[in-house]
Amino acid sequence: EVQLVESGGGLVQAGWSLRLSCAASGPHVDHFIIAWFRQAPGKGREGIASIRLRDDITRYSDSMEGRFIISGDGAKGTVYLQMNSLKPEDTAVYYCAATIAWYPFDADEYPYWGQGTQVTVSA
CA distance 12 to 66: 19
Q: What mean pLDDT do residues 46-67 have?
A: 91
Separation CA 20–CA 1 (nearest Å): 22
Sorting pLDDT into bands at 50, 70 and 90, what band is 63? Answer: confident
The answer to whether the beta carbons of residues 99 and 4 sit under 8 Å apart is: no
3 state SS of 72:
strand
Instruction: Kindly state the DSSP code that residue 98 receives in the 8-state scheme.
Output: E
The alpha carbon dihedral of 90, 64, 99, 30 has a sign of negative
pLDDT of 45 > 90? The answer is: yes
Select from 23, 3, 10, 8 the least CA-distant residue to 82. 8
